[in-house]
Structure 1
Amino acid sequence: MKISTVCAAGTVAVLLATPVMAQQATGIYLGAGAGVNIRQDQKWTFTDPRTDGHADVAFDTAPAGNVYIGYDFGAIRADIEGSFRQNDIGDVGLNWDAFRLNRFITVPAGNDVKVNIKGHERTIGLMANVYYDFEFGSPFVPYIGGGLGVGFNNWKVKAKEFDIDFEYDSPLFAYQGIAGVSYYITPNLAANLEYRYFGESDAEFTTGSTKIKLDAPASHTILAGIKYVFDFGPPAAEPAPETAVDTGQRSYLVFFDFDSSRLTPEARSIVASAATDALRGQSTRIDVTGHTDRSGTDAYNQALSVRRGEAVRRELVTDGVADSLIVVRGVGESDPLVPTADGVREPQNRRVEIVMN
């Protein structure tokens, strides 16, 4: 089965799960994953005083895993990752023209031959990664990323027919591309399903009188895991507003932490009051308008204001309000409650207004 098919099927399976009304937190996070590693076929080139040639080496599929620690800034996050991959050597096709003079085997020239080679390739990766999260106001957050680092490799190879028995360790330059989707069970806890293409530079070493060159190792890794974000809240030096305000006119204000669309427990309580008001008063329309302060770019703040509005909409629906009654829009930083200069973090402007009609 092609890797792309596996990834697509896994993503669809996650997306079919029952949605949970959660928004992601920001801050320091820890995570771990486990899955399978499919190592690409590799060409090994041998050179020694007797002869030279190459072997086409295939590998068995094997388990893989990783752990990481990082910081989530919002749409962008970065982490340091440690990973483990080890694949046993499977089929080996030997270029016979090159090896026909070997004294251990005598078969007609011009043929390739399968030989019995035992061993493995093991890689412990240490990577620095950067990701971009595509936030749509949903608990499902697709993401892409990439990383650079080093792979600490160990090769162990034994082939009695060719008098080969060696073990070799070498660090190699490593890089990877990442694509996946997170499902936020709570604002702080997410389940992840992801694909990683892990590549390294060529390796070359000598054992006895034989020089061996290995083409650049490459792996396709599919991992399922969890991530937990330690949300320590906004900076202590910044004064916070009341989390939410009931204006007494069938309208409500709900405030948010800096660069967040997560509803606090107090905010959920006010949204619940708004939902009760809407159900009791038989509202025909509920306007939900998201706002931000002026500390980000216009485009980023526009998207953040929509995410805040969507978070309130989902909470109203959870509290029993018909989704068809709710109209959500975001106005970014264009309508501040407290006028400020551009770039100023103003807690009163990070809000959603709920108006009953």
Structure 2
Amino acid sequence: MRITLGLVSAAALMVAASAAHADRVGPYLSAFGGYVIQPDLEISSGGADGELSTDNGWAAGGAMGYDFGRPRVEAEVTYRRNEADEISSGGATVDVDGNLSSLAVMINALYDFENSSRFTPYIGAGIGAAWVYANDIGVPGARVDDDDVVFAYQGIAGVKVAVTGGLSLFVDYRYFATLDPEFDAPGGGTIESEYATHNIMAGLTYNFGTGAAPMAEPAPAAAPAPAPADARSYIVFFDWNSTAITPEAQAIIQDAANAASSLGVARIELTGHADRSGSAAYNQGLSLKRAKAVATVLVGLGIPAANITTVGKGESAPLVPTPDGVREPQNRRVEIVM
């Protein structure tokens, strides 16, 4: 029995963490490290071509950004290092030492595929600049020790796991590459090289946002049961950031129109509302558009437009009080009052 209760409690804590973390809106910080696999890099100097091979290496970095609920934007700084192994050219191979490293400053755009589980897949891409360092690569008497600043880019795909309300663990793959850096050659001239890496990263992110919306958009809260003949008010609900009339909302509006016709109602007030996931000004306009969308359906069902008034209250009158930035389904509504 104790084991069963323990398992149930652990599961409840995991679900609570997932729900509290989902769609969290606000600034965040990340720290990560990883394993860097570098393919053989083509190099050329003075008309001679070759390849530089390196050992698998490591990376460490951090990022700060802002989570908008699903899209994210962040600034990232990452250091990568691979030890040089050998240079091949013209059928000959020479063992070398030194290392090839980079320090990248990137701007990344990412998108989280929120769902009902604790696991959130994401993808992203970034651009920026990288300082690429050839640190004493070569053999005694013939070493390359130079650096170059070049354009950098990367693609990202991974998954994050909610740990607590604001903390999540993530693991991702990153392909990071740059335009070809150039280095001064030991005997004069330049060496042109590629720079590309395959990276497996793992780290932690903490989101400082004050609230969280449901991981997946829940179905709108149940509307009142079909109204009896003397009913005078109805509520219809909307999807996030939408003015579209759902099939459920259409049925409720039809009931309201039937009641208005049978009761001989001379005035219908439509009051639109929004949740707090956008700015107050944007939500004010969105709430009025929702009220007008319901009015359009009522007119199509035979209610005279002159009998209908529309009002938008934005996020000022929620059914469920929430912190700013929270997507609460019950606050995305239009109230129909006769």
- TM-score, structure 2 as length reference: 0.61
Secondary structure at the aligned position of 2:319 is classed as: helix
Partner Cα separation in structure 1 for residue 249 and residue 78 of structure 2: 40
Q: Which residue of 2 aligns with 1:131?
A: 110
Q: Is the 8 A contact 1:37 1:85 kept in 2?
A: yes
Q: Is the 8 A contact 1:182 1:193 kept in 2?
A: yes
Runs of 4+ aligned residues of structure 1 deviating over 4 Å after TM superposition are 290-294, 330-338
Q: Which residue of 1 aligns with 2:204?
A: 226
Secondary structure at the aligned position of 1:40 is classed as: coil
The number of aligned residues is 235
Structure 2: which amino acid aligns with 1:348? L
For the pair 1:214 / 2:217, whether they are aligned, the reply is: no
Structure 2: which amino acid aligns with 1:169? D
Q: Which residue of 2 aligns with 1:75?
A: 70
Q: Which residue of 1 aligns with 2:60?
A: 65
Unaligned runs of 5+ in 1: 1-17, 96-111, 234-256, 264-289, 303-329
Q: Quote how far apart the aligned CAs of 1:113 are.
A: 1.5
Q: Is the 8 A contact 2:45 2:192 kept in 1?
A: no
Structure 1: which amino acid aligns with 2:288? A
Q: Is the 8 A contact 2:130 2:178 kept in 1?
A: yes
The equivalent position to 1:342 in structure 2, one of 282, 285, 289, is 289
Structure 1: which amino acid aligns with 2:99? H
For the pair 1:86 / 2:64, whether they are aligned, the reply is: no
Instruction: State the percentage of identical aligned residues.
Output: 28
Structure 2: which amino acid aligns with 1:124? L
Q: Is the 8 A contact 1:187 1:262 kept in 2?
A: no
Residues 1:158 and 1:83: Cα distance change in structure 2 (over 3 Å):
closer
Cα deviation code 1:316-353 (max 9, x no counterpart): xxxxxxxxxxxxxx979998995331377433373459
Describe how 1:181-330 pairs up with structure 2 within 5 A: 181-233=159-211, 260-261=213-214, 296-297=241-242
Structure 1: which amino acid aligns with 2:185? T
Secondary structure at the aligned position of 1:115 is classed as: strand
Q: Is the 8 A contact 1:200 1:216 kept in 2?
A: yes
Partner Cα separation in structure 2 for residue 332 and residue 190 of structure 1: 36
Q: CA RMSD in A?
A: 3.3
Partner Cα separation in structure 2 for residue 224 and residue 200 of structure 1: 22
Secondary structure at the aligned position of 1:342 is classed as: helix
For the pair 1:176 / 2:147, whether they are aligned, the reply is: no
Q: Quote how far apart the aligned CAs of 1:62 are.
A: 1.2
Q: Is the 8 A contact 1:44 1:212 kept in 2?
A: no
Structure 2: which amino acid aligns with 1:84? Y
For the pair 1:55 / 2:8, whether they are aligned, the reply is: no
Unaligned runs of 5+ in 2: 1-10, 217-235, 254-269, 273-286, 291-311, 321-327, 332-338
Q: Is the 8 A contact 1:26 1:72 kept in 2?
A: yes
Cα deviation code 1:121-169 (max 9, x no counterpart): 11011000000111112211100000010111110234347x4123102
Residues 1:135 and 1:333: Cα distance change in structure 2 (over 3 Å):
farther
Q: Is the 8 A contact 1:200 1:218 kept in 2?
A: yes
Q: Is the 8 A contact 2:27 2:64 kept in 1?
A: yes
The equivalent position to 1:113 in structure 2, one of 81, 88, 92, is 92
Describe how 1:96-107 pairs up with structure 2 within 5 A: none
Q: Is the 8 A contact 2:127 2:153 kept in 1?
A: yes
Secondary structure at the aligned position of 2:214 is classed as: coil
Partner Cα separation in structure 2 for residue 332 and residue 85 of structure 1: 54
Q: Is the 8 A contact 2:114 2:215 kept in 1?
A: no
Q: Is the 8 A contact 1:130 1:146 kept in 2?
A: yes
Partner Cα separation in structure 1 for residue 250 and residue 130 of structure 2: 45
Q: Is the 8 A contact 1:36 1:61 kept in 2?
A: yes
Q: Is the 8 A contact 1:153 1:171 kept in 2?
A: yes
Q: Is the 8 A contact 1:189 1:229 kept in 2?
A: yes
Q: Is the 8 A contact 2:34 2:59 kept in 1?
A: yes
Residues 1:262 and 1:138: Cα distance change in structure 2 (over 3 Å):
closer
Q: Which residue of 2 aligns with 1:167?
A: 145
